[in-house]
């Protein structure tokens, strides 16, 4: 199997909503996704799609061309979003289908979004995470995010606090360390990022 990272499309929304409901107590609405998909200048939404890998001798770009030529699609197993405004890369959402967690896919999503942010001259990255969500916090720490603040009662469903986490700067040295971690991730996950495919 190969995992493909590509931009989210309108037709993905029903499946994304299902994964959202399985992942968050207060999922986004279809309207929010529609708005974010249209707002491509600042909002970068991606999905992870699973693909059979029968023709792996082809280059990543040739594989992507073949799949899009077939006009077929595979199951979606994760998604993520990043707002890029005035040098700030704000991770807006990230989730992996519960059946596929613990295989490096959440990390893949985060790395993919950070690579896009670096490419688009993002200078730093921020996000909010529930105080109780130690799994996500471990993922962010692995990629050098640090706690820089706390938002009291941030989450509407249970008034839980959010930790504000940040990684700064997103510079050439960070890009190099990110590439290093990506190299390790490639040993675990076979994937193609449409954004960087050659």
Ligand X SMILES: CC(C)(COP(=O)(O)OP(=O)(O)OC[C@H]1O[C@@H](n2cnc3c(N)ncnc32)[C@H](O)[C@@H]1OP(=O)(O)O)[C@@H](O)C(=O)NCCC(=O)NCCS
Question: So which residues are the catalytic ones?
Answer: 128, 140
Nearest approach, Cβ of 28 to ligand X (angstroms)? 12
CA 89 to chain centre: 12
Phi and psi at residue 120, in whole multiples of 5°? -95, 20
Compare residues 36 and 107 and give the one whose CB is closer to ligand X.
107
Q: Give the span between the Cα atoms of 8 and 130, in whole angstroms.
A: 25
Which of 96, 113, 117, 192 forms a contact with ligand X (CB under 6 A)?
Answer: 96
* Cβ-closest position to ligand X: 106
Compare residues 54 and 84 and give the one whose CB is closer to ligand X.
84
Contacts of 15 (CB under 8 A, 6+ apart): 75, 76
Site for ligand X contains 94 (CB under 6 A): yes
Site for ligand X contains 48 (CB under 6 A): no
Contacts of 23 (CB under 8 A, 6+ apart): 95, 96, 98
Q: How many residues contact ligand X, by CB under 6 A?
A: 18
Nearest approach, Cβ of 4 to ligand X (angstroms)? 16
Token readout for 83 is 């707002």
Contact positions with ligand X (CB under 6 A) in 141-170: 142
Q: Give the span between the Cα atoms of 183 and 187, in whole angstroms.
A: 7
Compare residues 100 and 195 and give the one whose CB is closer to ligand X.
100
User: Which stretch, 64-72, 111-119, 135-143, 168-176, contacts ligand X (CB under 6 A)?
Assistant: 135-143
Compare residues 53 and 135 and give the one whose CB is closer to ligand X.
135
Token readout for 77 is 């197993």
The string over 8-24, giving b where at least 16 C-beta atoms fall within 10 Å of a residue's C-beta and e elsewhere, is: beeebbebbbebbeebe
Q: Give the span between the Cα atoms of 182 and 19, in whole angstroms.
A: 25
CB 164 within 8 A of CB 126: yes
User: Which stretch, 3-11, 52-60, 91-99, 170-178, contacts ligand X (CB under 6 A)?
Assistant: 91-99
Site for ligand X contains 104 (CB under 6 A): yes
Nearest approach, Cβ of 149 to ligand X (angstroms)? 15
Residues that bind ligand X (CB under 6 A): 23, 94-96, 101-107, 129, 133, 135-136, 138-139, 142
């Amino acid at each position: 199997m190969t995992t493909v990272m590509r931009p989210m499309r309108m037709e993905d929304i029903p499946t994304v909503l299902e994964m959202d409901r399985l992942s968050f107590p207060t999922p986004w609405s279809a309207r929010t996704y529609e708005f974010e998909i249209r707002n491509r200048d600042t909002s970068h939404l991606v999905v992870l799609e699973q693909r059979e890998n029968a023709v792996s001798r082809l280059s990543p770009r040739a594989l992507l061309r073949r799949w899009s030529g077939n006009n077929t699609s595979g199951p979606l197993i994760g998604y993520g979003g990043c707002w890029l405004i005035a040098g700030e890369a704000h991770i807006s959402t990230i989730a992996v289908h519960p059946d596929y967690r613990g295989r490096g896919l959440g990390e893949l999503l985060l790395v993919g979004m950070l690579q896009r942010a670096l490419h688009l001259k993002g200078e730093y990255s921020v996000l909010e995470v529930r105080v109780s969500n130690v799994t996500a916090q471990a993922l962010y720490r692995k990629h050098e995010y640090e706690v820089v603040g706390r938002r009291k009662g941030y989450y509407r469903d249970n008034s839980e606090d959010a930790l504000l986490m940040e990684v700064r700067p997103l510079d050439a040295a960070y890009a190099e360390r990110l590439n290093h971690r990506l190299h390790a991730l490639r040993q675990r996950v076979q994937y193609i990022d449409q954004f960087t495919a050659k």
